[in-house]
Structure 1
Amino acid sequence: MFTGIVEALGEIVALQPSGGDLRVRVKSHGLDLGDVALGDSIATNGVCLTVVELPGDGYWADVSRETLEYTTVGEWKLGSRVNLEKALTPQTRLGGHLVSGHVDGVGEVVSRHADARSERFRLRAPKALAKYIAHKGSICIDGTSLTVNAVDGDEFELNIVPHTLERTVIGGYSTGTRVNLEVDVIARYLERLLLGDKAADSSTGGGIDMAFLAENGFLQR
């Protein structure tokens, strides 16, 4: 688990396709790896990666085909900058929100404009994830815990302060930038709990729709 508070910026310095998936080397500028061991997890642009080698100035990690399909990892190039965060410990300050590092999908920056000293971003999420994004709720963008300022269908807005612009990859976003999205895990569990015993019924598709809400008394017919 992570908090979504980025600790350092890293750089992709090697990409090695291997048997249909990928091995990556990340140079960890400014990230203390003194307490990191093989098998530990590091969130890399919001993707939980397992450390398989520690060459001294960074780490190697393997990326599965599943991860390549659902994240932006397949778009990384040599020199790409990435947000880094080590897994939390019982002593870690929970400055953001609980983040698993399991990316739900890829969003896209729709617009960016100045708002006093901050920057206002509008992003579009995959339609299947829109129901989990709420006004003033939390969302993780490329590993950064952020507050949703406005929601309009499958689009939402973020207000990014100067510190975050400087210390994360968000400062380099422009219209069309694709980003890793992880919705609040509490919303996902709440959906399953509302299904009750029907959660085990494959005919529900694993989700809640308007018909389900009406049938179970959450909506007036």
Structure 2
Amino acid sequence: MFTGIITDIGTIVAADHRSGTDAAFTVESGYDAASLALGASISHQGVCLTLISFEPIATGSRWRVQVSQETLDVTCAKEWQVGTVVNLERALKLGDELGGHMVSGHVDGIGEVIAVTPENESHRVTIRVPEPLAKYISTKGSIAIDGVSLTVNEVDDVTFGINIIPHTWQVTTLGRLKVGTRVNLEADQVARYVERILSRKT
């Protein structure tokens, strides 16, 4: 479980895409290797992945993760290459501060940026979502975009808008957003549970 508060940006330094099967990636990060553990869960661009190996390096740590075909099918991980940068967040521990909202690291779908507009010191971004996902997005509700916890400003059918403050723009990969960028989306878990409950009553 995560909160959508990014604690580092990692870089893909090796990418092994195998046709029709899983992929594997090697990531370098500023995380202290002494704080990591084999089998630990880390959110990579909003995707919860398991460390299958890791080692210390001069600048922090380097680790390897494996991504299943199912995950590749529904996330932007299929597009990761050497040099791709990814938002990172360590899994919550008991007693940690919940600074964003509850994020599972299970991506619901891929959105596409259709507008990026500077607004004072912030940026307003509009994203188109897959139609089945749109029902879970509501004004002033929470959403995770590439692992970042954000508040929805407005919703219009299959598009929604967010405002990204300068700090978030600078310390996450969202500062690289432009028209046409594809992003991992995870809807608020509460919205999904409510929809499930209501659908069972009808």
Compute the displacement of 1:171 (Å).
Answer: 0.2
Alignment of 1:31-180 (within 5 A): 31-56=31-56, 57-180=61-184
Q: Does 1:185 align with 2:192?
A: no
Tell me the SS of whatever aligns to 1:27: strand
The answer to whether the Cα contact below 8 Å between 2:33 and 2:55 also exists between their aligned partners in 1 is: no
> Scaled by the length of structure 1, what TM-score is found?
0.86
Instruction: Single out whichever of 143-152 and 31-40 deviates more from structure 2.
Output: 31-40
Compute the displacement of 1:119 (Å).
Answer: 0.5
- CA distance in 2 between counterparts of 1:32 and 1:164 reads 23
- CA distance in 2 between counterparts of 1:68 and 1:154 reads 23
2:25 counterpart residue number: 24
- CA distance in 1 between counterparts of 2:194 and 2:119 reads 34
- CA distance in 2 between counterparts of 1:122 and 1:32 reads 36
> Scaled by the length of structure 2, what TM-score is found?
0.94
Tell me the SS of whatever aligns to 2:194: helix
Tell me the SS of whatever aligns to 1:186: helix
Tell me the SS of whatever aligns to 2:123: strand
- CA distance in 2 between counterparts of 1:122 and 1:195 reads 29
Q: Whose strand fraction is larger, Structure 1's or Structure 2's?
A: 2
Per-residue CA deviation, residues 174-196 of structure 1 (Å, 9 max, x unaligned), is 00000000000111111111233
The answer to whether the Cα contact below 8 Å between 2:3 and 2:102 also exists between their aligned partners in 1 is: yes
Amino acid of the structure 2 residue aligned with 1:15: A
Per-residue CA deviation, residues 150-194 of structure 1 (Å, 9 max, x unaligned), is 101110001000000010000001000000000001111111112
Amino acid of the structure 2 residue aligned with 1:125: V
Tell me the SS of whatever aligns to 1:132: coil
- CA distance in 1 between counterparts of 2:197 and 2:136 reads 14
Higher RCO structure, 1 or 2 (CA under 8 Å, sep 6+) = 2
Amino acid of the structure 2 residue aligned with 1:47: V
Larger Rg: 1
Tell me the SS of whatever aligns to 1:52: strand
- CA distance in 2 between counterparts of 1:147 and 1:33 reads 33
Count of residues in Structure 1 that have an aligned counterpart in Structure 2 = 197
Tell me the SS of whatever aligns to 1:14: strand
The answer to whether the Cα contact below 8 Å between 2:110 and 2:129 also exists between their aligned partners in 1 is: yes
User: Which contiguous aligned blocks of 4+ residues in structure 1 show a shift greater than 4 angstroms?
Assistant: none
The answer to whether the Cα contact below 8 Å between 2:55 and 2:62 also exists between their aligned partners in 1 is: yes
2:10 counterpart residue number: 10
